[in-house]
Amino acid sequence: METISENACFGGVQGVYRHASAVLGCDMTFGLFLPAEARRHPVPVLWYLSGLTCTHENAMTKAGAQAHAAAHGLALVFPDTSPRGDGVADDDAFDLGQGAGFYVNATRDPWAKNYRMWDYITDELPRVLMAGFALEEDRQAITGHSMGGHGALSMAMQLPGRFASVSAFAPIANPTASDWGRKQFTAYLGADEGTWAAHDSSLLMLEHGFRGDLLIDQGASDQFLDLLRPEALAHAMAARRQSGTFRMQAGYDHSYFFVSSFIGEHIAFHAKALAK
C-alpha cells in the first residue's frame, strides 16, 4: 500500500492511500481519517460512500466530517466510486462507467472484468483496512450520499450484523423504477429485472428491513427528486413498520452544502449506535 499523503487534522490524521485491487484489477485510492485515539487503540469505523462522478476526494474535502468524527473518536473511510484507469471500461455519459460503479458486481461485458464494487467495498477494502490500520472490525457503521446512499442502504440490509447503524443523504431510493438505476442495472447486470432487486433499498426494506439504527435525510428542494424517488423508501418503511427516522429538509438541495449541514448529526447518530 502506497501513502499518497498524510495531514494533521483535528488532532488526528487525514490520509490518502493507494493499493492494487485484485477484485477490480486496477489500482484504487481511498481516504482514511484516523482520530487521535487511533494512536493508542483501535477505533470504530464509519464508512462514507460517495455519489455519481465523485472520487474518494469529494466528501473528504467538502463534507466537513473530520471535526465531528474527531469529537467522537471515529475513523472515517472514503472509498472511490468505481474502478479507474486506461484499461477500465468507460462511457461518455456521466452516470455510467468510471465514477458510476453503483456498488454492484457487474456480470455483463465490458463491465464484468473490473466493475465489482460490491465485493470491493464489502470484502477486499475492509481486509486492507483492518490489516493496515488501528480499526475495530466489530464496530462499523455506514452512510452515503445519492448513489452512495443507495450503496450504504443496500449493504446494510443485505449484510445483517455488519453495521450497527446506517444513514443516507438523498439516496437513490428506488433505482429499479428510476433512470438512475434502470440504465445502469441493464448495462451492468443485464435485462433480467429479477437480478436488480438486491440493489433497491425500497424493495430490500419491504423484504428485509434493517435491524439497527436508521436515519435518512432528503432535501425537499433537491433538483433530482424524481430520479431519487424518496417516497418509495418512506412508504416501504411505513409498510414494514421499520423503526428509524426519515426527514424531508425544507429548502435543501442535492449539493454538499446539504450534506455538510447535517453531517454532524449523522456522525453523532452513528457514534451513539456504535457505543451501545
CB contact at 8 A, 113 and 85 = no
The sheet with strand 75-78 has its strands ordered as 2-9, 12-21, 26-34, 75-78, 43-49, 135-144, 165-169, 213-219, 245-249
Q: Which residues contact 180 (CB under 8 A, 6 or more apart)?
A: 52, 95, 147, 172, 224, 227, 228
For 135, 227, 259, the CA distances from 69, given in Å and listed in that order, are 14, 31, 15
Beta bridge partners of 143: 48
- Catalytic status, residue 146: yes
Kindly name the residue from 145, 165, 222, 266 that is annotated as catalytic: 222
The CA distance from 41 to 260, in Å, is: 28
The CA distance from 102 to 19, in Å, is: 21
- Catalytic status, residue 254: yes
Kindly name the residue from 145, 199, 254, 266 that is annotated as catalytic: 254
The CA distance from 228 to 107, in Å, is: 24
Kindly name the residue from 21, 82, 146, 201 that is annotated as catalytic: 146
Return the closest-CA partner of residue 65 out of 249, 270, 216.
Answer: 270
Q: How crowded is residue 1: how many other Cβ atoms within 10 Å of its Cβ?
A: 12
What the block records as the C-alpha cell of 102 is 453503483
- Catalytic status, residue 222: yes
Annotated catalytic sites, by residue? Answer: 146, 222, 254
